[in-house]
């Protein structure tokens, strides 16, 4: 796999913001963050300490972006493999270093180098094609909504599932798995919103509010993903958007 | 992200809690007797700040709500965040490092783990299976929907 | 040796103080400038109230880390408090400042300064031992961490030896003055910048979590 050094350098320059520079500099390597990490607490290996996740990133910076495959591989193993970006470590750090911000920057470098983990890459490709990360087609989505609404009407005869109802108060979005694999979840959401008399609408476009771009470190796709939901909300003129659970 | 929109973005949890507090959403009191615990998701609790909202709903429907230690903002991650749900290449590490969470769940003695996030749902299911815990995992929406009092 | 001492407590010291003060101010100014260009979320909706709470929360050893790691916290506070106390309130320092600027304030009794210096060195030894003995800290430690520890220990160690007249006093006091200059010069350019950036970092994180109504951590 050839590494796109020029792309890495570009991302590296963009990512070296005020916080990143400060945090990489002042981290005292005291190891108190290890107390905050479930990786380390479950298996106390030194390389599971949150501060360890700074190492590959600092190495990329030290080399001025001249990375090779080996370094990118190490960066992926550390910054994708041993961090869930849960921010618990930040609560244990006396400086309050946002390790998740640094891990996201490291992941952006992996993305630029062409090393996005396959599962995330596939979800992103699905999104580009279908507008949701599981690649569900529009008709499948609408059909599933109809189906679950009918099921719900057996319990709640007046139940509704308005689609693209402009001017509703609340737009409801989903994780595509709610539709594709666990339609029971969709049933539950519709039941709750009908039961409490919420003035809600579903949307035929921009209904997947998950954002894999934030996980992978691909800012362009992250912006596109949130952009789709924003566009739907603006089109329908809703006052509130409910994210996926 | 960072931009101001003409609308407000909120997680379902917040809307449910508001609707319940306003009396619009009627939930059967102590519908569940089985001891239950809640996985405080990083999205909605540590980053969202909806701890009180989650407890308002849970205490209503569960008669025996048990807290993990640590809980709330300080709870351990489920292990499924940051894209780990979609990175099978790191599954071995994920399962090995779910130990801290498994111990927390086990110590509560709960028979149901309620989860309010899809990433938590999968990760906690895997954790429960891997460590042979005797409990089921339920998504918050389903857990609440069962307990809705229909007029 | 006398000439060196005169330099290190005279013109060089003025220079070091100026670098320290200007450097410290510049670090904050540069942070804000860079944030404006590349890190806007830091400045948007900044919450001074939460920033202040976060700083306060970590200046008082009653936080989650104090409970999780009581020894590191205890020695950490001892290390910083004893250092600042000796630097600001040591009688010899105040005498120098009085001579230069006719400014003076309360001073530490010599025995107290001696005790604080020992406490500081004990804490430094504790941190060095952690870096050598605890696997996770050993793995994380970089040469820069040893360098700043050495820069911090040098003035304290030479100061204590000079005060107790151990070894050649003239040599020791000159080394002490030079080490003090080195420390002032190093603060803006090394990890010692945390003297200023601790407050910036905590403010940034405190504000961020305050925005989301999470807590004062």
Model confidence pLDDT, tens digit, residues A11-67: 999 999 999 999 999 999 999 999 999 999 999 999 999 999 999 999 999 999 999
Nearest Cα of chain A lies from the Cα of B64 at a distance, in angstroms, of 23
Q: pLDDT for B37-73, tens place per residue?
A: 999 998 889 888 999 999 999 999 999 999 999 999 9
Residue B39 maps to a domain: yes
Name every residue whose Cβ is closer than 8 Å to that of residue B89 and which is 6 or more positions away in sequence. Answer: A81, A117, A118, A119
Give the angle subtended at the CA of C68 by the CAs of C65 and C73, to the nearest 5°. Answer: 55
Task: Return the domain boundaries, chain A.
Answer: 5-115, 119-242
**Calpha distance B50→A55 (Å, rounded):** 34
Question: What pLDDT is attached to residue B3?
Answer: 52
The answer to whether the Cα torsion of C193, C194, C200, C205 is positive or negative is positive
Sequence ranges of the domains in chain C: 2-195
Model confidence at A107: pLDDT above 80: yes
Question: Does residue B112 lie within any of the structural domains?
Answer: yes
Average pLDDT over residues A111-121: 95
C102 touching B (Cβ < 8 Å): no
pLDDT of residue C211: 86
Judge: B81–A84 Cβ closer than 8 Å, yes or no: yes
C64-106 pLDDT, tens digit per residue, is: 999 999 999 999 999 999 999 999 999 999 999 999 899 999 9
CATH number of A5-115: 1.10.1060
Residues in chain C, pLDDT under 50: none
Average pLDDT over residues A88-103: 97
Q: To the nearest whole angstrom, how far is the Cα of C64 from the nearest Cα of chain A?
A: 7
Q: Is the minimum CB–CB distance between B100 and chain C shorter than 8 Å?
A: no
* Separation between Cα atoms, residue A141 and residue A42, nearest integer Å: 40
Of the CA atoms within 13 Å of residue A188, those in its CB half-sphere come to 22
B90 is a domain residue: yes
ipTM: 0.95
Q: Is A166 exposed, middle or buried (0-12, 13-18, 19+ CB in 10 A)?
A: exposed
Q: How confident is the model at residue A99 (pLDDT cuts 50, 70, 90)?
A: very high
> If we measure between CA atoms, which residue out of A28, A168, A37 comes closest to residue A95?
A28
For testing contact with chain A, the best of C38, C133, C197 (most A CBs within 10 A)? C38
**C2-195: CATH, from 3.90.1300.10, 1.20.1250.20, 1.10.1660.10, 1.20.950.20:** 1.20.950.20
Q: Is C70 in the B-facing interface, judged by CB distances under 8 Å?
A: no
Residue B32: asked if its preceding bond is cis (omega within 30°), the reply is: no
Residues in C touching A22 (Cβ below 8 Å): 31, 197, 200-201
The nearest alpha carbon in chain B to A233 belongs to: B7
Count H helices, E strands: chain C? 12, 0
Cβ distance C41 to B2 less than 8 Å, yes or no, reads yes
Measured between beta carbons, which residues in chain C are less than 8 angstroms from residue A91?
64, 217
Chain B residues closer than 8 Å to C41 by CB:
1-2
Q: How many domains does chain B have?
A: 1
Tokens found for residue A49: 């300490």
Q: Which residues pair with B10 in a beta bridge?
A: A242
- Assess contact for B124 and B137: CB atoms under 8 A: yes
CB A216 within 8 A of CB A111: yes
Q: Which of A111-120, A194-203, B1-10, C68-77 has the lowest mean pLDDT?
A: B1-10
Q: Give how far Cα C56 sits from Cα of A180, B79, B111, C59, Å.
A: 49, 32, 41, 5
């Amino acid at each position: 796999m050839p590494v796109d050094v020029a792309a890495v350098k570009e991302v590296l320059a963009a990512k070296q913001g005020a916080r990143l520079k400060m945090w990489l500099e002042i981290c005292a390597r005291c190891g108190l963050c290890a107390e905050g990490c479930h990786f380390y607490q479950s298996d106390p290996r030194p390389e599971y300490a949150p501060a360890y996740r700074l190492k590959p990133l600092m190495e990329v910076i030290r080399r001025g972006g001249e990375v090779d495959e080996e370094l990118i591989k190490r960066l992926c193993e550390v910054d994708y493999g041993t961090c869930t970006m849960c921010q618990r470590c930040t609560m244990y750090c006396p400086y309050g270093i946002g390790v998740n911000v640094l891990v996201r920057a490291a992941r952006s470098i992996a993305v630029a180098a062409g090393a996005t983990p396959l599962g995330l890459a596939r979800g992103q490709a699905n999104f580009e094609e279908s507008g949701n990360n599981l690649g569900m087609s529009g008709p499948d989505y609408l059909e599933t909504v109809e189906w679950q609404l009918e099921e719900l009407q057996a319990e709640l005869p007046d139940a509704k599932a308005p689609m693209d109802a402009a001017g509703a108060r609340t737009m409801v979005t989903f994780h595509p798995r709610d539709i594709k694999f666990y339609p029971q979840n969709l049933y539950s959401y519709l039941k709750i919103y009908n039961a409490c008399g919420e003035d809600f609408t579903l949307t035929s476009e921009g209904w997947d509010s998950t954002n894999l771009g934030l996980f992978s470190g691909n800012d362009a796709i992250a912006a596109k993903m949130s952009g789709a939901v924003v566009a739907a909300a603006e089109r329908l003129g809703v006052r509130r958007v409910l994210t996926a659970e | 992200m960072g931009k101001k929109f003409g609308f407000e973005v909120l997680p379902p949890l917040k809307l449910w809690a508001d609707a319940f507090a306003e009396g619009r959403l009627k939930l059967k009191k102590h519908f569940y007797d089985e001891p239950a615990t809640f996985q405080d998701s990083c999205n909605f609790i540590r980053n969202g700040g909806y701890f009180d909202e989650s407890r308002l709903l849970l205490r209503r429907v569960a008669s025996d709500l048990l807290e993990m230690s640590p809980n709330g903002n300080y709870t351990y991650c489920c292990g499924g965040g940051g894209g780990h749900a979609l990175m099978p290449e790191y599954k071995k590490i994920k399962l090995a490092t779910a130990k801290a969470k498994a111990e927390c769940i086990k110590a509560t003695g709960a028979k149901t783990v309620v989860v309010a996030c899809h990433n938590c749902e999968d990760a906690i299911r895997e954790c429960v299976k891997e460590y042979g815990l005797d409990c089921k995992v339920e998504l918050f929406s389903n857990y609440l929907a069962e307990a809705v009092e229909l007029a | 040796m006398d000439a060196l001492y005169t330099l290190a407590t005279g013109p060089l010291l003025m220079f070091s103080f100026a670098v320290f003060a200007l450097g410290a101010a510049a670090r904050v100014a540069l942070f804000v400038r860079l944030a404006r260009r590349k890190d806007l979320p830091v400045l948007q909706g900044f919450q001074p109230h939460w920033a202040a709470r976060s700083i306060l929360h970590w200046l008082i050893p009653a936080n989650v880390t104090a409970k999780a790691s009581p020894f590191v916290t205890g020695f950490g506070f001892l290390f910083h408090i004893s250092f600042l106390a000796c630097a600001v309130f040591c009688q010899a320092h105040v005498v120098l400042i009085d001579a230069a600027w006719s400014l003076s304030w309360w001073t530490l009794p010599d025995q107290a300064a001696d005790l604080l210096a020992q406490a500081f060195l004990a804490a430094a030894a504790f941190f060095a031992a952690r870096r050598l003995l605890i696997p996770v800290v050993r793995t994380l430690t970089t040469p820069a961490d040893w360098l700043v520890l050495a820069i911090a220990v040098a003035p304290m160690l030479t100061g204590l030896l000079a005060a107790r007249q151990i070894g050649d006093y003239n040599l020791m006091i000159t080394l002490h003055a030079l080490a003090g200059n080195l420390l002032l010069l190093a603060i803006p350019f090394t990890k010692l910048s945390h003297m200023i950036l601790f407050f910036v970092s905590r403010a940034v994180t405190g504000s961020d979590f305050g925005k989301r109504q999470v807590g004062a951590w």
